[in-house]
């Protein structure tokens, strides 16, 4: 039992080499030192402990970071337009600008629409309107021509129509009564009296209920005129002559202007 224990102790008593350097075999012969300069090895090939290896890794990482910084492109500076766009993109500004822009756009579009509609009317509707107006005038002309060809209109008897109106004014359109309408003969008498009045040979003349009266002077009595002989006698008589005197049934209107008597047709 003692022998194996001693053997284990001998095995455990061997020193442990904790180094990253390769172990030197004891069986190899020892090299003699020489004065020759040894070749320099690269850092990757140099031996070192774990702590040295960690330092090398950190150093490499730091150098790599510096190289990456050298390669980075600097951030571009913002222009004035970018700053303005960034300011306008805020919600408060958008809520204020959008209604104003919508109103302005609506006004511009409304004017554009009005111009387009006016242009469309001038190009499309106006020629049609002119054509319709031209055809309407042509139809009116044709209707007038047709009415003249096929319509036989009788001439209105103005004397008859005037007599009917006067009867209507009297209240009895079918009755018979004396009107101021004079016959052709009596119209000639009034024209003769008008000439005498113009030449100052008589003072006045008038009609009343279809009868003709005349006065030689303002204070003379009125005389009934029924024929041209009465007019001739009126020229030669004086106020002292005996003439037929008739009562005045109604007050007539003195006519002093022969032109008005002829136009009215009542003397």
Q: How far apart are CA 186 and CA 212, in angstroms?
A: 8
Q: Quick one: pLDDT at residue 26?
A: 47
> Is the predicted pLDDT of residue 109 greater than 60, yes or no?
yes
Q: Return the bridge partners of 223, or none.
A: 214
Least confident stretch, 75-84, 119-128, 175-184, 200-209: 175-184
pLDDT in tens, 143-196: 888 777 766 666 666 666 666 776 666 666 565 555 555 577 888 888 888 888
In this structure, are residues 230 and 205 in contact, taking their beta carbons and an 8 Å threshold?
no
The whole-number pLDDT of residue 174 equals 62
- Domain layout of the chain by residue ranges: 84-148, 180-264
Question: What does the chain come to in residues?
Answer: 267
What confidence score (pLDDT) does residue 148 get?
73
Identify whether the C-beta of residue 192 lies closer than 8 Å to the C-beta of residue 218: no
**DSSP 3-state assignment of 98?**
helix
pLDDT at residue 177 in the model: 54
């Amino acid at each position: 039992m003692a022998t194996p224990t001693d053997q284990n102790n001998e095995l455990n008593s061997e020193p442990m080499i904790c180094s990253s350097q390769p172990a030197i075999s004891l069986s190899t012969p020892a090299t003699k030192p020489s004065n020759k300069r040894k070749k320099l090895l690269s850092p990757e090939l140099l031996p070192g402990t774990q702590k040295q290896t960690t330092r090398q890794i950190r150093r490499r990482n730091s150098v790599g970071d510096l190289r990456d910084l050298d390669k980075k492109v600097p951030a571009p500076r913002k222009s004035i337009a970018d700053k303005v766009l960034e300011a306008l993109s805020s919600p408060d500004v958008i809520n204020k600008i959008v209604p104003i822009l919508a109103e302005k756009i609506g006004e511009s579009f409304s004017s554009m629409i009005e111009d387009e509609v006016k242009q469309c009317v001038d190009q499309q509707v106006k020629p049609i309107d002119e054509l319709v107006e031209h055809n309407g005038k042509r139809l009116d002309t044709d209707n007038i021509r047709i009415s003249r060809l096929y319509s036989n209109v009788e001439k209105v008897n103005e004397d008859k129509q005037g007599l009917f109106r006067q009867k209507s004014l009297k209240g009895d359109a079918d009755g018979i009564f004396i009107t101021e309408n004079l016959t052709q003969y009596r119209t000639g008498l009034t024209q003769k009296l008008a000439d005498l009045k113009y030449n100052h040979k008589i003072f006045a003349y008038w009609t009343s209920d279809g009868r003709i009266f005349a006065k030689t002077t303002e204070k003379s009595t009125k005389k009934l005129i029924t024929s041209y002989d009465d007019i001739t006698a009126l020229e030669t008589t004086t106020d002292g002559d005996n003439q037929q005197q008739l009562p005045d049934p109604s007050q007539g209107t003195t006519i002093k202007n022969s032109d008005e008597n002829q136009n009215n047709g009542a003397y």
